[in-house]
Structure formats: C-alpha cells, structure tokens
A = this chain, B = another copy of it.
Amino acid sequence: MIRVKLGKNVLEANDDMAGKLKEQYKKHNIKVINLIGSPGSGKTSILERTLPEISKKFNVAVIEGDILTSRDADRIKRLNVPAVQIQTGGSCHLDAGMVGRALGKVELSRLDLIIIENVGNLVCPACFDLGEDAKVVVASVAEGSDKPAKYPVIFNRAKVCILNKMDLLPYSNFSLDEFYKDIKHVNPGLRVFEVSSLKEQGLGGWLEWLEGLVADGGKEN
C-alpha cells in the first residue's frame, strides 16, 4: 500500500512539472513527440530515417533517454541534428524534470519540433507525462503480435503506433490479424504505420502524419 501512495505522489509531482513544460512548448510554438518502445524496437533507426526528411521543412532537436551510454545521441548528431543525451542512471523512464533540464541545452526559440526518445521500456514511460503533444509507440514485428494486449497502457495512450521490422514478417510467426484485433480493443482510434526502417519502406504515411502535426501551428522555416 505504501508503494502505491509513493507512486501517486511521484506521478503528481511529474504532472506538475509536465504542465510547466507544456507552457514552455506553447510559448515557443514547438510540437513535441514522445517516442516509446521496447529495447531494440528500432526507435533510433526510425529517427535516422525520419530526421533527414523532416529537417528539410522544420527545425528539429532530439532528446535521447538512456540508462547509460550516449550511443543514441551520437547516432543522431551524425545527421547534423542537435541532440541532448539524458543518462537516467538507472531510472527506467524519463520524467518531466529530466526533460526540463535537457531543454536548457537547446535553442527553444528556433525550434518547431522536439522528438524525445524515451528509455527502451513499454511500461513506465507510458505513465510519465513529458508535456508532449503525442506519444508514439514503436513496436516491432519480431516482438510478436500480443504486445497491445500485454502492454495496454502505452497502446491506449499513444496517438500513433509505428509497427517496425515489417521486412521480418515472412520469417516470424507474427499475426497482423491478432495485432489489429487487440488494438481495436485497447485503442480503436490508434493510427498504425507499418514500416521497415532497415529497408526504408513504408515511412511515407508516418512522415506525412508528423509533418501535419508540426504544420498545425509550426513556424515557417
């Protein structure tokens, strides 16, 4: 019982801080995406495909969350996109306070879009609001089709699901029918984009959705 109470206080404190982040984003007219997925679902690879395209039209920065290492931020910086690495030092999710501190390292006044790549984890990141406009859940065909049913919170709270590694479909026992059946149950309005970041396939719909989100209130470049 005590643990639940502590959990609530932690979440309430986070929500307060997330509210302050929202004000900052709004003041600078910045849209924010919170990318959430299992370790190895392909979040950074998706970013490597997304950033060169979205950067043609908008000013973007990336905040990378990892327990340890700055490997993901290094991959993003190679694309000439500003990236801030948060090392959570054990915490399994980003919280609004960590993001607030990271915001001090980017030029908010010139940005249209911030993409936050959360720690690889389908559970806790779903519960910690970072003031984002949309949570995007990245799932991989290799993980199996039962993930929406087994991790319903993130699939329920996300606006978009990127189903990655579609190129592995012929080599796995993933069932698209079961996947969509479970999604209909947990979040019938979820937009799903089937992509392969390795083969650079199917990314058009996702990019169009993201550009639409930023254009809706984004600055001119």
**What's the number of copies of this chain in the assembled complex?**
2
- Given contacts A68-B149, A69-B149, A90-B153, are A142 and B173 in contact (CB under 8 A)? no
- A198–B170 Cα distance when bound, in Å, is 13
> Does A133 have its Cβ within 8 Å of any Cβ on chain B?
no
Contacts of A41 in B (CB 8 A): 143
Question: What are 19 residue pairs bridging A and B, where the CB atoms are less than 8 Å apart in the complex?
Answer: A6-B10, A39-B122, A39-B147, A39-B150, A40-B142, A67-B153, A68-B150, A71-B150, A92-B121, A119-B123, A120-B122, A120-B150, A121-B121, A121-B122, A121-B123, A124-B124, A140-B142, A142-B168, A168-B171
Contacts of A143 in B (CB 8 A): 38-41, 142
**Which residues of A are at the interface with B, using a C-beta cutoff of 8 A?**
3, 6, 10, 38-41, 66-69, 71, 90, 92, 119-124, 127, 140, 142-144, 146-147, 149-153, 165, 167-168, 171-173, 198
Contact between B153 and A71, CB atoms less than 8 A apart:
no
Contacts of A151 in B (CB 8 A): 39, 67, 120
Nearest CB of B to A74, in Å: 11
Nearest CB of B to A77, in Å: 16
- A90–B150 Cα distance when bound, in Å, is 11
- Given contacts A69-B149, A153-B67, are A120 and B38 in contact (CB under 8 A)? yes
Instruction: Using CB atoms, name the residue of chain B closest to A92.
Output: B123
Instruction: Using CB atoms, name the residue of chain B closest to A145.
Output: B40
- A174–B149 Cα distance when bound, in Å, is 28
Nearest CB of B to A128, in Å: 12
- Given contacts A39-B151, A198-B173, are A71 and B146 in contact (CB under 8 A)? yes
From A39, A142, A150, A171, name the one whose CB has the most chain B CB atoms within 10 angstroms. A39
Nearest CB of B to A64, in Å: 11
- Given contacts A10-B3, A172-B198, are A140 and B40 in contact (CB under 8 A)? yes
Contact between A147 and B40, CB atoms less than 8 A apart:
yes
Nearest CB of B to A70, in Å: 10
